[in-house]
């Protein structure tokens, strides 16, 4: 696996974690965690691919959905630990957003 793919998975994981933490703040069940982690983890890329009329990336490679599900379950059982590192997660989220913006522009 190349470094760009690893960074792609890491970015999806960070975005999924922010969605799962939002589910934790609203005290949702595991289904809510899975839904919000998936929406935040792969939603932006899905929208990008639909707008560009490209095949949706997570349909061809289900690893992205598995990453979102794994992060959702992990945060579901350890939200109190992850919540204490919220500032770090926001920084990673901002870095991931910048990186994904560049990658999305290059894809189009």
Judge whether 35 and 68 are in contact, CB under 8 Å: no
Confidence of residue 49 (pLDDT cuts 50, 70, 90): very high
Q: What is the pTM of this model?
A: 0.86
Name the residue range of residue 86's domain: 3-103
Report whether pLDDT(12) > 80: yes
Whether 73 is covered by a domain: the verdict is yes
Domain count, the chain: 1
Residue 24 forms part of a structural domain: yes
Tell me if 108 is assigned to some domain. no
Buried b (16+ CB within 10 A) or exposed e, 29-58: eeebbbbbbbbbbbebbbebbeeeeeeebb
Task: Report pLDDT for 75.
Answer: 93
Summarised one tens digit per residue, pLDDT across range 80-103 is 776 677 778 788 778 888 888 888
Q: Is the pLDDT of residue 35 over 90?
A: yes
CA distance 98 to 100: 6
Nearest 5°: the CA angle 66, 73, 49 is 35
Task: Determine, yes or no, domain membership for 97.
Answer: yes
Q: Supply the pLDDT for residue 108.
A: 65
Average pLDDT, the chain: 89
């Amino acid at each position: 696996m190349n470094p760009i793919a690893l960074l792609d998975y890491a970015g999806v994981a960070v975005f999924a974690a922010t969605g799962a933490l939002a589910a934790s703040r609203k005290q949702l069940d595991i289904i809510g965690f899975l839904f919000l982690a998936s929406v935040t983890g792969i939603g932006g890329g899905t929208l990008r691919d639909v707008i560009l009329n490209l095949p949706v990336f997570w349909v061809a490679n289900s690893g992205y959905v598995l990453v979102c599900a794994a992060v959702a379950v992990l945060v579901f059982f350890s939200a109190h630990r992850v919540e204490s590192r919220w500032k770090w997660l926001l920084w990673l989220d901002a870095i991931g957003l910048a990186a994904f913006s560049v990658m999305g522009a290059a894809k189009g």
